[in-house]
Amino acid sequence: MATPAGQDEAAAGEPLALAHREELEPLLAARWAADEPPERTLSDPWFANLYLFRTAHDWRIHRGPHPCIGGRTYDGARILVPLFDLASAPHKVLRTMLRDHDAFAPLSDTQVARLDPSRFQLQQRRDDADYLYPAEHFRHYRGTALNKKRNLMKQLHAAHRVEVVPFADALAGQARTVLTGWMQAKGKLPGETDHEPCIEALSLSGILGLHGFLHRIDGAPVGFVLAQRIRPGVAVMRFAKGLDSFNGIYQHMFQHYCRAMPDIHWLNFEQDLGLANFRRTKMSYRPVALLAKHRVTLREV
């Protein structure tokens, strides 16, 4: 019989670690890529993302017949990421699981459509929604809505010759130089942004399945992108950092990525966290959809 301390430890879960990757990746893929249209797949429940932001969310594994990953959202809600089918789980079991948590999340529109509304109730926040774009938006920047993006990129190319190389571990130091410059330009300190997860992503890109490009001007690094393929034809832009002193660098990096990856048809730019500058920037690229992330709770039955 477990001791009370052992029971408390089990209830608290096991902190997410890199060693859990092989165990969790197939479970996550089975739950979030089963019947989901590829472009509607959410950006969050993938091991690379969970691992890199494990400190911010205090992700922990809860094993058992109904395994979950528990943690906290940016707004403080205590959630369980279910690794099992909610619809088929007994109501009493789910009620017990939510005793110390606020909701099961994040679930997609497709997933919640399978839930019985007499048993489950849904909530969603605009701040959590993923931004979805056709890759063609970035390959051409066609139309008046994207004209400014096209012009900024043309100005960059008129003033500079940009060298692009595929990202590799040996380039992590140059990418960190860009990150440091980006932080200084924003007036940010480590801990105020995604600085630490980005540093770790640069060091673990191959292990975590991230890929991208480093961009240089006059031999000096000025920007980089790291993305992750989550479904056939779909990539999430996990990190994009550029030096704002080079106008058009972001427009150039996004276009280059999409042109260099002809098999990518959709780009997911993740959520805006309710930050006004993020929202303005992401909306300016004209998303074709905002993918809702539902938080699921139980009704009394």
In angstroms, the CA 162 to CA 257 distance is 14
Q: Is residue 277 part of a domain?
A: no
Kindly tell me the burial class for residue 116, based on how many C-beta atoms sit within 10 Å of its own C-beta (0-12, 13-18, 19 or more): exposed
Verify that 242 and 113 share a domain, yes or no. Answer: no
Residues 229 and 134 in one domain: yes
Q: What is the pTM of this model?
A: 0.93
Residues 136 and 85 in one domain: no
Question: Is the residue at 285 inside a domain?
Answer: no
Pair 135, 111 in one domain: no
- The pair of structure tokens assigned to 146 is 């994207």
Domain identity same for 114 and 141 = no
Whether residues 82 and 180 fall in one domain = no
Within a domain: 134: yes
Arithmetic mean of pLDDT over the chain: 93
Determine the average pLDDT of the residues in 65-84.
Answer: 96
Q: In this predicted structure, what is the pLDDT of residue 34?
A: 72
Domain of residue 263 covers: 130-270
Cβ atoms of 98 and 253 closer than 8 Å: no
| pLDDT tens digits along 77-89 | 999 999 999 999 9
Report yes or no on 276 lying in a domain: no
Give the total number of structural domains in the chain: 2
pLDDT for residue 11: 59
CATH no. for residue 101?
3.40.630.30
Q: Quick: pLDDT tens for 171-216.
A: 999 999 999 999 999 898 877 889 999 999 999 999 999 999 999 9
